[in-house]
A = this chain, B = another copy of it.
């Protein structure tokens, strides 16, 4: 959000994971497809993922990071394949959570094997709408099946199976990644030691559903969208840009926008309908750059997964306390004071449901004016929370009182 130059750990820094290279594994095939929550079967399923740090001999030091809506598997370090794979935006900066993942960092790669996989339906190497449908030889487009957060987590479980990893030291994610972390604790209670949910609640608000609907409306009504069959031709850039601009407002807070942009003009005396205010310039930039790096169909699928996710409905017949009864992980929930997409009051509901059952729960509301984006921006405090929660503390024994 800030326009000041970022200081990144360069690849040769002792704190960087250095040069990285994505890997891909096939986790389902045409012959042995995977059954999805929506009822469809899908195969092949290829998953792009990255790993940082060494797997311990007992394979018990794995931390799974789940990415958010427009994220990817490239969490940390510098992607040596960025140019070759046509991902120029990765050339200029390291992975999206580089301050959190690396040697000596909160997700310390001297200690943990950190892994992140691009979700099903996205567009960064994992099978999604832009992938070729083997039955037609053409991109799936809208014939790609609906995917859910539950599907994502089960695909990740297959990936861990393939890598011979039975148990996670921790699963952590923010926003839609936080909902994946939560779903891990619900779907695989015996495979997760610690579950860390940042800036996410067990379901999206009605307002959030509304914003997603408007974004999809913009995409699907762009004449270049052509029912999702735009591959090889002009893409629905204006619709996707509008969706992103709108979503971006929901990632920031009014107080943060006010202090960064206020009502400052970018132009003087040039009244009209183009970019005039600083905030317009910022949103315009966000829209334009997003179009270069994200697929419009994937945007539909991923936002729909965000809409559908409802932990209480899926696991507890509508009752969140019933749903979380199955959780056996230690859980930390961190919300951010100015986040209005997943506001603290909603994040806390999950923590309170665990609390009500006497399950171990750490809940923190981080003061921040960075809105929903805070889980990406407030890396100092988020890092400290992660370090502390992941430390192998012995729980203090309760000393029986004398007397």
Residues of A within 8 A of B (CB): 38, 142, 146, 203-207, 209-211, 213-214, 216-218, 220-223, 238-239, 241-242, 245-246, 249, 252, 254, 257-258, 261-263, 271-273, 277, 279-280, 283-284, 287, 300, 304, 307-308, 310, 340
Contacts and interface: CB of A to CB of B under 8 A. Distances in A.
A308 B203 CA distance: 37
B218 A261 contact: no
A276 to B, nearest CB: 8
Contact of A273 (B216, B258, B280): B216
B203 A263 contact: yes
B249 A207 contact: yes
B213 A271 contact: no
A252 B261 CA distance: 25
A214 B273 contact: no
A273 B247 CA distance: 17
Contact of A242 (B217, B252, B284): B217
Contact of A209 (B211, B263, B304, B310): B263
A217 B205 contact: no
Nearest to A37: B271
Nearest to A203: B263
A257 B206 contact: yes
A273 B304 contact: yes
Contacts of A241: 217, 221
Contact of A207 (B207, B211, B217, B254): B254
Given A207-B254, A307-B277, A214 B271 contact: no
A261 B287 CA distance: 30
Given A207-B254, A221-B222, A272-B304, 20 more contacts: A205-B257, A205-B258, A206-B254, A206-B263, A209-B277, A209-B279, A211-B246, A213-B277, A213-B280, A213-B283, A214-B242, A214-B245, A214-B246, A214-B249, A217-B284, A218-B242, A221-B241, A254-B340, A271-B304, A273-B300
A284 B217 CA distance: 9
Contact of A245 (B209, B217, B280, B284): B217
A209 B245 CA distance: 12
Contact of A280 (B38, B209, B222, B272): B209
29 contacts: A38-B271, A142-B272, A142-B273, A203-B263, A204-B263, A205-B254, A205-B258, A207-B252, A207-B254, A209-B263, A210-B249, A210-B283, A213-B245, A213-B283, A213-B284, A214-B242, A214-B249, A217-B241, A217-B242, A217-B245, A218-B242, A220-B273, A221-B238, A222-B238, A223-B223, A242-B242, A254-B340, A263-B310, A271-B308
Contact of A206 (B221, B245, B258, B271): B258
**When A and B form their complex, which 7 residue pairs have the shortest distance between CB atoms, in order from nearest?**
A221-B238, A206-B257, A207-B254, A213-B280, A146-B271, A210-B249, A214-B245
A206 B307 contact: no
Nearest to A254: B207
Contacts of A223: 223
A310 B272 CA distance: 17
A217 B279 contact: no
A77 B175 CA distance: 49
A5 to B, nearest CB: 23
A287 B284 CA distance: 23
